[in-house]
Structures are given as structure tokens and as C-alpha cells.
Structure 1
Amino acid sequence: MNEYPVVVVGAGPIGLAAAAHLTETGSAVIVLERGPSAGSAVSEWNHVRLFSPWSEVVDPAAARLLEPTGWAAPNGDTYATGREWVEKYLAPLADVLGDAVRVDSEVVGVARRGRDRVVDAGRDTEPLSVHVRHSDGSEERVLARAVVDASGTWGSPNPLGSEGLPAIGEKSSADRIDYRVPDLTDPAIRAQFAGKHTVIAGSGHSALTAIITFAELAAEEPGTTLTWAVRRSVTADVFGGGEADELAARGALGQRAKKAVDDGFLTVVSGFRTETVAAEGDQLTLVGDAGARIGCVDRIVALTGFRPDLSWLSEVRLDLDPTLQAPKFVAELVDPNMHSCGSVSPHGVEELTQPEPGFYLVGMKSYGRAPTFLAMTGYEQVRSIAAELAGDHEGARKVELTLPDTGVCGGAGLFDEPDAPSTGGCCGVPREAEAQLT
């Protein structure tokens, strides 16, 4: 099948890194991006700063491709915003890749040429058929010897409802619910929240970022009130590993969020699982599954994580973990119900290979519903796959990667129970936060 290119779905950081590695190893590649430009998803959180430094968010093969153009790597010890990541790295990389990157091209399905998923014959001899819909409404089929799905999860945020499905009334109140961190530097967006009561739901890094941002708004805009609704108990571990976090900026993020709580900018409601969003005139009331209520709410910022969109992969054969919807072997490495201390074992083509020959899930999508994905994980994934597709089977399996430790033990499954005892683990018993919770 070497007459066909490798198709990469998504021109984000991992997709473009995949293209760089494939180009370097001599494979023809086409990158299909549904947005109007490379890094379109990243551009939607332009205002958010990464907690990984530049040295960890530039792929080595991409840097080698860029250097002959005169591109200079940003200071490796500094931290990029989403906008800077696009402007200083992703956009120049897409320019170097040239016509290989096709924007406004949404992949709406993948199949084996001439066969649906039921047919066994020809799955290892026929190319993959990538169904593409362009922004002008036209359609085409692109034949590929392999498909690397780096489409991420940004387009599929989890709902506010605690059962993994929208809460009662959530869809009808969608115009007052944000599922990403709002850009409060935009005057029009800021006006929607200033002087209003906002509920922030969630306890991951996005929620901590929102807590810091909204606390600053509350300090500057009289009448702004904030409620933080979390399913878990608010122990110190909710705020991350602090100084024990090997990513200093990630540790500092949690400490700044904790200070915002300590300073009394938020009312914290723990053990709250949203069951209903009830509209009462111009305001909303959130009702928990145990009957608790949060009333007089103007807007909700639901930062409850993301999930993979598998709807367009119905005709390829996948072996996914039933819990995380991640490749089975990757799920064993990252399952937040069992995983301890944020460490992830090195993994590459062996763990990412699917029953469908030549099809790979990479990047954030390879983690399914699990959080805490780092760019450097995805860069090593696509390096391994590119080596495999180039015939370097030994190099593909020499996967060496050490990820920064979070400094925190315990999985989301455990911490989701408000009164669950700690299993301890390598970091000891969770500490109660010395927060002034009202």
C-alpha cells in the first residue's frame, strides 16, 4: 500500500508533529483539519497559558523541519499562551508542511475501501478510505495506507450532568452555560459575568484556571459572586501537588486557586452532583442529586472534562477500554480510578495499534476520558508510529519518555466520593485544605 499516503486527522500540536515525523522518515502525508487554519482548537483558548514550558511543547522532529527556514525556538524556560503556541510554532510548522495540510476539510468517516466493518476479507490488502466534507459542502474520498487520528477531544466537552449525560434542563439553558474557560479580557465576554453570580463546576486544571480568572474579576467588579460546585471533597490534593509537582507552573496554578478560595472569593459546595438546571425567570437554579440547591445563578461555567468523538469511526474495528473509551493498553496506564501520582509508563505503537490495520488513535484522543494529557506524550506516540510505518520496527519500540510527576496520589474515581478514605499510596494520605470554605 505504499502508493497511498498516511492521512493525519487534525492539524493541532500532535497532528502536525505526526506530519513532521512522517515527512522526516520519508512517508507521504496528508493532514486534514476541519477548522480554517492549523491549530484551530488551540486558537479557541488563546488567552490560557500552558503549564508546560516551551521546551516540552515543541516536537523535536518539527523543530528540525523548521530550523532551515530561520525559525528560532522560543526560550525553553518560558510558558506560552494558546495564541503564542499557534503564532510562534504551529502556524510556522503548517507553513513548512505546505500543501500537505488541508484546512476546512472535516473527516466524517473512515472505512476500508469497498468494505464495511463486518467484512473480513481485504482488511490487510485494501487501503483505508477517508471520507472528507469540505466547508463549501463538497465531498471527496482520500485513500490511505494508514490513518493517524489526532483529532483530540476539544469538540466534545462533557456535560454538566453528573451521570455523563446532560442534566434535566441543561440543553434548554445552553445559552447561559460555557463549557470552556471564558476569555474575560474580551470586554463583551467580561460584561456577561461582571456583577453576576457564576457557578464554576469541575475540579481539573481548567476549573482551577477559571477560579483564578474569576477571582480577579470579583476583586475588580463589585457585585460579582462565585460558587464552586465540586463532586469531590475539597482536600489539598484537589489543588494539585504544589511544590511537589515536577511541572512548577502546574503546581503554582493549584496554589493560586487555593489562595482564591482562602481569600473568600468563592463559596464552595462540595459533594454536589448536578441533576437539574431549572430556569426561574432570568436566572437558574442548580439542583443536586441529593436535593441540594444553588440558586440565583446568572451563568454556569461547566469544566467537567472532555470525551472522544467516536461517531465517525463506526466502520473501523477498534479495541477500546469500556470505561475510558481509550485504546485498551493505554487505558491501563492512565485510568484515573487506579492510576497513582500522575506517572505514565512510556508507550508507543505497540500500545496504540488497533485491530483495524493501519489505524491509530493518538494525542488526547488516545486517553479517551482520562485527564492530564501532556504534549510530550503525544510527540513520543507519533514518533513511534512514524518509525513503524517507515519499517523501523526496532526504533518504533524503543520508547523512552519520562513525564513530570504531579506529586498527587489517588484517582478521580476515589476522590469523587466525598467521604471515601484514602488508600495512601506513594504520596501518603490526602491533607485537608486549610481553606476558608463558606
Structure 2
Amino acid sequence: MRTEVGIIGAGPAGLLLARLLHRAGVSCVVLESRDRAYTEQRQRAGMLEQGTVDVLRAAGAGERLNREALEHDGIELRFDRRSHRLDFPALTGGRSVWIYAQTEIVKDLIGLQLKDGPPLVFGAEAVAVTGLDGRLPQVHYRDSAGEHTLTCDYIAGCDGHHGITGSALPASVARTFERTYPYAWLGVLADAPPSCEVLVYAHSPRGFALHSMRSPTVSRLYLQVPADTDVSAWPDDRIWDELDARFAVDGDWSLTRGPITSKSVLPMRSSVTEPMRHGRLLLAGDAAHIVPPTGAKGLNLAVADVVVLAEALADWKDSGSTALLDAYSDTCLRRVWRAEHFSHFMTTTLHTDPGQSPFDSRLQLAQLDRVTTSRHAAAELADNYAGLPISRQGPDH
């Protein structure tokens, strides 16, 4: 096959990029190693910034989102048995956040693409990318019919942290900055109505906990656990009892329990690869950067990347200029590092390190007290959480 942009990976980044390019008149082909059923069931993030919602709506993927997504006007911080609500619209000039599972975004985008979009090939495993320094790079892939080659002008690596495109950057030009954390999240889905109106972030001497939701009848909950945790060590009753203890506040609030339908352990790490471009290969989303989930930035960063990339590729198609493509990595990395900083702040402020000293615990409480008593500190958190503006010029504040 021959196309202008070869996209590797049919997660939110690859599918949204394909949608934006299609609407801009840039031809593309999406290659996904898994089948459609698996692709639509991958559980990932569910919190959307206002800018992400705006992009999805503008791309024609807002119909079901508008009907089913849960709009939230803030978050709740719990610590020292006290509860504090941060009002995002009041602190950010009107911005909100939305709960809409990544699985549903993927379903919406796949449906649009199969209906009237560019080719989407499932079961196509990319095994190599070549010619990145030439005029016509190639993606070599295999499927049930054998081995094939996709020739294109540019390759977009949207295949995640474990994909082939991130490792395709030569060691002589790429550098990866990483941090691992000594804890993980035990995440569960429960058939239980949410016990709160907004996401609850709880700091506790026992460890961090997060209460989120997927729908009015399904709760998504997380517990901080050691990095080497075995899920089998956490029966349902133990999970609910620990959640009760970490969310505890003075008052009559109670946690609604229900059948737990899935459990998984999520590692906590930060990673950024620089630059996000080499020759005709451009990385987007998890292929270029990973954030700990505390700041809810992973999916939103991927959307910001592909908005910048789609604009740059459309400008190249229309004008022949590569100026925006040349600026792609620097533009995205300004936003990426801001999100990395915010995610690190949220993670280290709310989690308890193994062997943490009483002094460090008091520093965390002092920081949380500052956020909940100072409008300036609260506005800084809200501004980052609700999302900085998506622009090809990068954040301007």
C-alpha cells in the first residue's frame, strides 16, 4: 500500500489522528496488531480535560460522549479525616472535566473510521520501520495473509510504550528520562453506584486511595499497594475494608459496596523520550511519554500530541512547508514536561513512601493544607488538572 501517513496503533492517539487527517484531506492508513474486540476492550484512563472533550466534539466523535459522559465541576481532596472540594469552574474561568471511559472513545472512533474514514487494518503487526531518513519510509507488517509493506511520506508512532516505534529512534539521537515509584495501584471495577459526585483523592497514613466512576452504576476505585503486589492477596472484603479506612472522614459519609468485577495492578512510572521525532518518524502519546495516573494526564497528553501533529501534517500537505513538523517535538515537549511535573506533584503529595519519615508526612499535610486554604494554590492545581490550552504554539502560561 501507499499512503501519505502510516499510523501504527489504533488506540485513542492513532484513531483520533486518523480522524483529524481524514477531515483535513491527508491520506493515511492505521495498522493495529490486535483484533477489533481486544482493541475496544483495553481498559485505560477515563478522565477527560475540557480541551480533549472539545477536540472530540469538533472531530465528530461527540454524539455518544454528549449523551453518556459525566461532567464534573471539580475534585475532592481528603486528608487528616477532613474533606475539601475544589470548584474547577470557579478557579479556572469555567472549565470542567469529564468522565468517559477510553474504551468508549475507541469504540466511537473505530465506528466513525469504519463508516467513512481511511483504512483501518486489524491484526496487522508492525515488525519494522525503515527509511526514516529518506523520502519514503516504510512500515513492514504481517497479518494472517503474510508479510506486507506500507510506503508513506511520514510514520506516526502511536503504538504505546511497548511498541516498535519508540525503540526505532537511534540511541545516538534519543534520550529517555525515567522515574519509577516504589508503589503501584490496585484498580478495581465494581457494580456499585458511586459514593460521591466527583473524584475523591485521599491521603492517608495507610496509603493513597482514589474514588472514580465509569457510569451512574459502576465505580472505579484504586488503592496504593506495594509495587510487587499479587492481586490474589486482595480478596473483595479486604479491598472494601481498606477503602473504607482510607476514605474515612469525620461525618456521616459512607462507601457504597458492590460486586467487584475486575482487579488489576497498575505500575507507577514517569518517562519522557526526547526528541519525539527522528526523520520521517513522529511519536505521539505513550510511545513518547508515560505519566503516573494520579494527575489523569495520559490520554489527554496523547490527544494534545495528535492535535499538534495533525495541524503540522495538514500544513505540510497544503503548503509543502515542514516548519510545523520541524517544531513538533519542541512544541509537544513543553506541554509534556508541564504534565509530568503536575503528575509528579500529585503523586508524591498524596502517596506514602515505604519507610516514610514523620517529617515527610507533615510536609505532605502542609502542602495539602496550602492547596485547600489558598485560592492561588487551589487555582494552580485546578488549572493543571482541568488542562492547559491545546495549541501548536504550546502552553502560553
TM-score by length of 2: 0.51
Distance in structure 1 (CA, Å) of the matches to 2:366 and 2:276: 32
Residue 359 and residue 155 in structure 1: after superposition, are their counterparts in 2 closer, same or farther (change >3 A)? closer
1:66 pairs with 2:75: no
**Larger fraction in strand:** 2
| AA in 1 matched with 2:11 | G
Distance in structure 1 (CA, Å) of the matches to 2:368 and 2:70: 31
Partner of 1:149: 157
Partner of 2:100: 80
1:126 pairs with 2:135: yes
Partner of 2:119: 100
Partner of 1:362: 284
Partner of 1:43: 41
Residue 358 and residue 49 in structure 1: after superposition, are their counterparts in 2 closer, same or farther (change >3 A)? closer
Give the alignment partner of residue 273 of structure 2, picking from 327, 336, 351. Answer: 327
1:428 pairs with 2:390: no
- Deviation of 1:21 after TM superposition, in Å, equals 2.2
- Deviation of 1:101 after TM superposition, in Å, equals 1.4
Distance in structure 1 (CA, Å) of the matches to 2:290 and 2:152: 24
1:382 pairs with 2:382: no
Partner of 2:10: 11
Q: How does 1:163-202 map to 2 (within 5 A)?
A: none
Distance in structure 2 (CA, Å) of the matches to 1:143 and 1:306: 37
Q: Deviations over 1:387-420 (max 9, x none)?
A: 22233746968779797977964549x9544325
| AA in 2 matched with 1:20 | R
Give the alignment partner of residue 140 of structure 1, picking from 114, 134, 148. Answer: 148
Partner of 1:238: 208
Instruction: Please state whether the residue corresponding to 2:267 is helix, strand or coil.
Output: coil
- Deviation of 1:105 after TM superposition, in Å, equals 1.2
Instruction: Please state whether the residue corresponding to 1:303 is helix, strand or coil.
Output: strand
| AA in 1 matched with 2:209 | F
Unaligned 5+ segments in structure 1 are: 113-122, 157-163, 165-200, 217-232, 243-247, 262-267, 278-299, 308-323, 329-350, 432-438
| Preserved CA contact (<8 Å) 2:158 2:287 | yes
Instruction: Please state whether the residue corresponding to 1:52 is helix, strand or coil.
Output: strand
Q: How does 1:391-406 map to 2 (within 5 A)?
A: 391=316, 393=323
Instruction: Please state whether the residue corresponding to 1:428 is helix, strand or coil.
Output: helix
Unaligned 5+ segments in structure 2 are: 72-98, 165-179, 193-202, 232-261, 370-397
Residue 140 and residue 325 in structure 1: after superposition, are their counterparts in 2 closer, same or farther (change >3 A)? farther
Distance in structure 1 (CA, Å) of the matches to 2:23 and 2:65: 19
Distance in structure 1 (CA, Å) of the matches to 2:221 and 2:29: 42
Corresponding pairs, count: 266
1:203 pairs with 2:184: yes
Distance in structure 1 (CA, Å) of the matches to 2:101 and 2:157: 25
Q: Which of 1 and 2 has higher RCO (CA within 8 Å, sep 6+)?
A: 2
- Deviation of 1:8 after TM superposition, in Å, equals 0.8
Instruction: Please state whether the residue corresponding to 1:151 is helix, strand or coil.
Output: coil
Residue 83 and residue 386 in structure 1: after superposition, are their counterparts in 2 closer, same or farther (change >3 A)? closer
| AA in 1 matched with 2:184 | S
- Deviation of 1:370 after TM superposition, in Å, equals 4.7
Partner of 1:111: 130
1:303 pairs with 2:265: yes
- Deviation of 1:108 after TM superposition, in Å, equals 1.5
Q: Deviations over 1:215-273 (max 9, x none)?
A: x7xxxxxxxxxxxxxxxx96377225x8xxxxx869xxxx9858xx8xxxxxx9x7x56
Distance in structure 1 (CA, Å) of the matches to 2:101 and 2:347: 29
Distance in structure 1 (CA, Å) of the matches to 2:154 and 2:23: 16
| Preserved CA contact (<8 Å) 2:7 2:31 | yes
| AA in 2 matched with 1:422 | D
| AA in 2 matched with 1:21 | L
| Preserved CA contact (<8 Å) 2:8 2:159 | yes
- Deviation of 1:18 after TM superposition, in Å, equals 0.9
| AA in 2 matched with 1:41 | T
Identity %: 16
Residue 236 and residue 373 in structure 1: after superposition, are their counterparts in 2 closer, same or farther (change >3 A)? farther
Query: Which structure has the larger Rg over C-alpha atoms?
Result: 1
**Larger fraction in helix:** 2
| Preserved CA contact (<8 Å) 2:159 2:287 | yes
TM-score by length of 1: 0.47
| AA in 2 matched with 1:80 | Y
